[in-house]
Amino acid sequence: MWGSGGLDVDPRQLRACAAATPEWTWTAMGPEPVDERPNLRWAGWAEDPWDALCAAEVVVTHGGQNAVAEVAAARRAAVVVPQARPFGEQRTTAAVLSRARLAVVAPRWPEPARWPELLRRARERGGDGWQRWSPGDGAARAAAELDALSA
């Protein structure tokens, strides 16, 4: 899953990773099309990726805050590959996720031969740990704070 802030991954790299993991089915979501293969489908841009996220066994995504929040809310296993940004915010987020053991993190797009192990590790880790990142009660907590402020 890639956002609109630019992509560090060449579509050929994605195709090579899919070729290295024939037992996995890849669905690419984002602005740049990829050449499909039997286990790689390009889904294009999705205004709301929620259903696709919830259906995924493992989500491969960049380290942007919105993408990480969506993966956390969906409670999906994840491989996070931070993209280069001027202020390094994705690398910082990825480092925190790695230390907290919430996601498998690769500092840059991995070589195809590394993907079977990364996906296996993410699947084994699962998505239950995201409860610590996103407990799911943010709206209720915000409302309680607003009530307390107005009292």
The total number of structural domains that make up the chain: 1
Is residue 48 in some structural domain?
A: yes
Q: Which residues contact 18 (CB under 8 A, 6 or more apart)?
A: 24, 26, 37, 39, 40
CA 140 to the chain's CA centroid: 26
pLDDT band, residue 34 (cuts 50/70/90): confident
Judged against a pLDDT cut of 90, whether residue 2 lies above it is answered with no
More confident site: 59 or 36:
59
Is residue 77 in some structural domain?
A: yes
Q: What secondary structure, in 3-state letters, does 93-134 show?
A: HHHHHHHCCCCEECCCCCCHHHHHHHHHHHHHHCCHHHHHCC
How many other CB atoms are there within 10 angstroms of residue 112's CB atom? 16
pLDDT at 5: 60
Per-residue pLDDT tens digits for 97-131: 999 999 999 999 999 999 999 999 999 999 999 99
pLDDT at 108: 94
Residue 66 maps to which CATH number? Answer: 3.40.50.2000
Is residue 6 in some structural domain?
A: no
pLDDT at 3: 65
Tell me the backbone φ, ψ of residue 35, rounded to 5 degrees: -75, 125
